[in-house]
């Protein structure tokens, strides 16, 4: 696919499932840029970063030019709040915990990103021309209409991040979004406290992320089937 597209800025999308981790390493190792998608947990995000670094090491060993290889790690945000809020409601928990897990999770992901790319392993690759794998905030349109429509944009600002906004969110941000600078790195301790409070309220966050990953994979399968059907119909009509 990458060869047929034949564009240096093309990124091949690979889900961050357990099965996808080896694929990420192999594809990066072949010199192909990757958008790693469907990341919900910090544990899986750490594995994704390791897969990326391992791929860069393979590429370097193969004599490939590291500065032509790019990657983003797509960390999903609003879907986390949707699932956590549903469970909080079922538990009859404190409403002050509602709609905060998505931001906290993403902020701690950025902390993980900072630490990982300051490591000796990453530094050695960066010195050879490699690029950092930029964090990308996905699912940044609010699902709850009572929330500010720019919440997952203005509250997730830091150097080097990408935010893939739906059109409605992009227009809202352009119209009335207030970006005040870094809204991530000063909130690490608050984010950790929130997860302690969620656990105390009975929310199993590991189960939340497993559920979201399974749902995400199923949605991808459905979309793939729809794409194949659409292309098949178009090809047959053109014959």
Residue of 13, 58, 98, 143 marked active site: 13
| CATH number (domain holding residue 227) | 3.20.20.70
pLDDT by 10-residue block (mean), the chain, 239 residues: 92 96 98 98 98 98 98 97 96 92 98 98 98 98 94 98 97 96 97 97 97 95 95 95
Torsion angle defined by CA atoms of residues 106, 184, 192 and 42, in that order, rounded to the nearest 10 degrees: 30
Q: How far apart are CA 64 and CA 155, in angstroms?
A: 38
pLDDT of residue 61: 98
The parent domain of residue 70 ranges over 2-238
Give the C-alpha separation, 222 to 234, whole Å: 19
Q: Tell me the two tokens of residue 23.
A: 């694929």
What SS3 class is residue 45?
helix
pLDDT given for residue 1 in this prediction: 87
- The candidate with the shortest Cα–Cα distance to 27, out of 66, 68, 58, is 58
- Name the one residue in this structure whose structure tokens are 């594809």: 27
Kindly report the number of other CB atoms within 10 A of residue 209's CB atom: 21
Render the burial of 150-187: b for 16+ CB within 10 Å, e for the rest.
bbbbbbbbbeebebebeeebbebbeeebeeeeebbeeb
Q: Are strands 71-76 and 134-138 parallel, antiparallel or unpaired?
A: parallel
Strands (E), 77-187: 134-138, 162-163
How far apart (Å, rounded) are the C-alpha atoms in residues 134 and 158? 11
C-beta separation of 38 from 76 below 8 A: yes
pTM of the model: 0.93
98 catalytic, yes or no?
Answer: no
How many domains is the chain built from?
Answer: 1
């Amino acid at each position: 696919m990458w060869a047929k597209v034949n564009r240096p800025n093309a990124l091949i999308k690979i889900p961050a499932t357990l099965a996808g981790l080896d694929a990420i390493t192999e594809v990066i190792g072949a010199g192909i840029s990757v958008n790693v998608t469907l990341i919900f947990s910090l544990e899986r995000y750490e594995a994704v970063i390791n897969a990326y670094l391992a791929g860069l090491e393979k590429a370097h060993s193969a004599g490939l030019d590291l500065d032509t290889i790019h990657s983003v790690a797509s960390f999903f945000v609003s879907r986390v709040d949707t699932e956590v809020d549903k469970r909080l409601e079922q538990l009859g928990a404190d409403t002050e915990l509602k709609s905060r897990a998505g931001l906290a999770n993403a902020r701690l992901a950025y902390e993980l990103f900072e630490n990982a790319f300051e490591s000796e392993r990453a530094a050695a690759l960066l010195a050879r021309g490699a690029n950092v794998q930029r964090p990308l905030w996905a699912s940044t349109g609010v699902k709850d209409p009572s929330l500010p429509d720019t919440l997952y944009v203005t509250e997730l600002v830091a150097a080097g991040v990408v935010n893939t906004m739906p059109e409605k969110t992009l227009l809202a941000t352009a119209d009335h979004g207030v970006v005040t600078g870094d809204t991530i790195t000063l909130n690490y301790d608050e984010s950790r406290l929130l997860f302690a409070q969620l656990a105390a309220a009975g929310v199993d966050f590991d189960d939340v992320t497993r559920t979201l990953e399974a749902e995400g994979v199923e949605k991808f399968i459905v979309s793939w089937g729809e794409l194949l059907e659409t292309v098949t119909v178009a090809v047959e009509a053109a014959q």
